[in-house]
Structure 1
Amino acid sequence: MKSLFIDGPAGRLHVQDSQGQGPSVVLLHGNSSAGAAFAAQCQALGQRYRLLVVDLPGHGQSAPVSPEHYSFAGFAALLSALVATLQLKDYAIVGHSLGGHAALEALPQLAGLRALVLLGAPPFNAELAGRLFRPEPTGGLVFKGSLNRTERERLAAAFVAPSQQSAQRAAELDSFIAQTDPHVRDALGKALAQGQFADEWALLQASQVPALLIQGDDDAFIDAQACSELAGAALQVRRVPNCGHCPHVEAPALCNAWLAEFFQDTL
């Protein structure tokens, strides 16, 4: 993987480039995570596709930005600018959680997008939100600014299914959370509480971009059965048993196989 540092409109972004020979695929992680969470995808698919693994602003090795950019719309604008800077054409996006919602909000600006994969990021609007999202399982830690070690451990545990817990996985997730700019969680939570989100379902339908949702059955944040009810012409839905909020981490072999199959049909 080649590390790139790209100056964006609000700060410097860290992007890892697998330099594969196939079509480009942009990978976007979730809130309080990092591009390194896609290690299994890079290993399995990095030669077949040009994987561009992004550390979103305030995460990983990317610079923090002003808190007003830490919203779905703010991350969407930064994604659109990155795609333009890299001059991508006929590409795909894989977005986990926050990364998926940023991609959905950016759809009107993403010319050349040929496929969208959402990991634990069902497209929603004000009407669908109550059906798709469970009560926040950590008592608000996912949107709390500074976290102590005990709080980080609780948040990390909520991200994966109980059957997928391990000391190594917990330590990795804890490190991602610790590296994240605390303003990300705080500002993102305030923006969502104020209704600062688009009608993602309408945007997806209007875009006509082929889309696949990979959803863990045991996701503490999202109702998998409600996600299944979204399946139709605009969205394929595949559910992963014994999996929480991070299918690319918890079930990498299955996730990678579905990604390769979907890209074979769309890119």
Structure 2
Amino acid sequence: MQVAKCGLSYQATGSNDNDFGLILIHGWGCRHSDYDLVLQRLQAEKVVDYRIITLDLPGHGQTPSTLLPKPSMTGFADLVLQLSKEVGLERIMLAGHSMGVRIALESWRLSLNQTNPMPSILGIILLDGSNYTLRPSLFAFDKGDTRSSNLTEAEKNALRAEAFNKMFSDLTPKSFRESTLANIASMDQVYSQAVRESMISYDREQMEATLQLLGKESEPPVLNVQSTDIGADNQRVPMSEGEVSRWMGYLGERVERVRQEVVTGCGHFPQVDRPDLTARLIHEFVREVRS
């Protein structure tokens, strides 16, 4: 791992022969290593002639929360753009998982309004996204939920772990389950909750306008890779071939230039549960957009 001048810890792999790169953004409570299995598949492809950047957002992995004491999706997105510029990328594609979906979308929006030259975003890849306005409720450990005030911190931590457990599937490697749960338990829970609040606020206050703008601009193209829908109990439910999730419908109504792919038989982490298929979808989309 390297530390950029902007403060983000990151890992760079792939070819340095051109100024194009793929930025992989993890979700809430996660780390750059969520993409390790996909990276292995992409690196095995002899035709991958671009840089691939994975990173730890503030308060996650090796990047301290002090880098962005008041977390927000906009603040995270700005750091992603700073990192892209710092490593010399002029053209990028962004892939975001879960919370990273918001950061990828916000990075694109910010890139339109920067006074300083920023990398050109050629495409956006969304991995198992959602929007909290489409959910039946918050989680009991969320500050905005009425149940939260009656819970101890230990109870909230247990509920966070339970929520993650339900995002895994039979395909999720045991090592990933254990390391993810250990990582969740070790995080600064005050900061982690502030990150969740900013994510939920983004869904309620900013995402609609961003997607409407993306649909109006018709650029860049979007690939949405969906593996779950949200059930009546607020938990993620694996999808079957041909299903259309609430998020897929919401996204498709607002962004015409979106390709939607359902990855079946796995949980909330398609990049972990089905890395071969996820890597292939990502690489084919990158190749298509660059051609």
Q: Same fold (TM over 0.5)?
A: yes
Equivalent position amino acid for 1:120 in 2: D
User: Is 2:214 aligned against 1:204?
Assistant: yes
- Using the TM superposition, give the Cα deviation of residue 153 of structure 1 relative to its aligned residue in structure 2, in angstroms: 3.1
Trace 1:2-17 onto structure 2 (pairs within 5 A): 3-8=1-6, 12-17=7-12
Equivalent position amino acid for 1:139 in 2: A
* Corresponding position of 1:240: 263
- Using the TM superposition, give the Cα deviation of residue 184 of structure 1 relative to its aligned residue in structure 2, in angstroms: 3.5
The answer on whether the counterparts of 1:141 and 1:155 sit within 8 Å (CA) in structure 2 is: no
- After the TM superposition, which of the residue ranges 195-204 and 220-229 deviates more from structure 2? 220-229
* Corresponding position of 1:227: 247
The answer on whether the counterparts of 1:33 and 1:180 sit within 8 Å (CA) in structure 2 is: no
The answer on whether the counterparts of 1:159 and 1:244 sit within 8 Å (CA) in structure 2 is: yes
Equivalent position amino acid for 1:157 in 2: N
Q: Specify whether residues 35 and 238 from structure 1 end up closer, same or farther in structure 2 by C-alpha distance, changes over 3 A only.
A: same
Q: Specify whether residues 130 and 63 from structure 1 end up closer, same or farther in structure 2 by C-alpha distance, changes over 3 A only.
A: closer
User: Is 2:195 aligned against 1:188?
Assistant: yes
- Using the TM superposition, give the Cα deviation of residue 4 of structure 1 relative to its aligned residue in structure 2, in angstroms: 1.4
- Using the TM superposition, give the Cα deviation of residue 233 of structure 1 relative to its aligned residue in structure 2, in angstroms: 2.8
* Corresponding position of 2:55: 54
Secondary structure of the residue aligned to 1:236 is strand
Secondary structure of the residue aligned to 1:69 is coil
Q: Specify whether residues 233 and 218 from structure 1 end up closer, same or farther in structure 2 by C-alpha distance, changes over 3 A only.
A: closer
The CA distance in 1 between the partners of 2:67 and 2:5, in whole Å, is 15
- Using the TM superposition, give the Cα deviation of residue 166 of structure 1 relative to its aligned residue in structure 2, in angstroms: 5.4
Secondary structure of the residue aligned to 1:46 is helix
Q: Specify whether residues 175 and 263 from structure 1 end up closer, same or farther in structure 2 by C-alpha distance, changes over 3 A only.
A: same
Trace 1:1-267 onto structure 2 (pairs within 5 A): 3-8=1-6, 12-21=7-16, 23-46=20-43, 48=48, 49-65=50-66, 69-110=70-111, 111-122=119-130, 130-131=133-134, 133-136=135-138, 138-140=139-141, 150-161=158-169, 163-164=170-171, 167-191=174-198, 192-193=200-201, 195-198=204-207, 199-207=209-217, 208-217=219-228, 220-221=235-236, 225-229=245-249, 230-231=251-252, 233-267=256-290
- Using the TM superposition, give the Cα deviation of residue 175 of structure 1 relative to its aligned residue in structure 2, in angstroms: 2.7
Equivalent position amino acid for 1:28 in 2: I
- Using the TM superposition, give the Cα deviation of residue 179 of structure 1 relative to its aligned residue in structure 2, in angstroms: 4.2
The CA distance in 2 between the partners of 1:146 and 1:249, in whole Å, is 29
Equivalent position amino acid for 1:168 in 2: S
Q: Specify whether residues 66 and 88 from structure 1 end up closer, same or farther in structure 2 by C-alpha distance, changes over 3 A only.
A: closer
Secondary structure of the residue aligned to 2:137 is coil
Q: Deviations over 1:95-153 (max 9, x none)?
A: 1111120110121333411111011225x6xxxx533x3534x5336998966764453
The CA distance in 2 between the partners of 1:44 and 1:260, in whole Å, is 10
The CA distance in 2 between the partners of 1:266 and 1:134, in whole Å, is 36
The CA distance in 2 between the partners of 1:57 and 1:260, in whole Å, is 27
The CA distance in 2 between the partners of 1:146 and 1:50, in whole Å, is 41
Where do 5+ consecutive residues of structure 1 fail to align? none
The answer on whether the counterparts of 1:107 and 1:203 sit within 8 Å (CA) in structure 2 is: no
Give the TM-score normalised by the residue count of structure 1. Answer: 0.81
Secondary structure of the residue aligned to 1:32 is coil
Q: Deviations over 1:228-267 (max 9, x none)?
A: 3233632111111122221111111111111111111012
Which of these two proteins has the greater Rg computed from alpha carbons? 2
The answer on whether the counterparts of 1:14 and 1:54 sit within 8 Å (CA) in structure 2 is: yes
The CA distance in 2 between the partners of 1:264 and 1:142, in whole Å, is 42
Give the TM-score normalised by the residue count of structure 2. Answer: 0.75
The CA distance in 1 between the partners of 2:210 and 2:266, in whole Å, is 24
The CA distance in 1 between the partners of 2:184 and 2:53, in whole Å, is 21
Q: Specify whether residues 172 and 218 from structure 1 end up closer, same or farther in structure 2 by C-alpha distance, changes over 3 A only.
A: farther
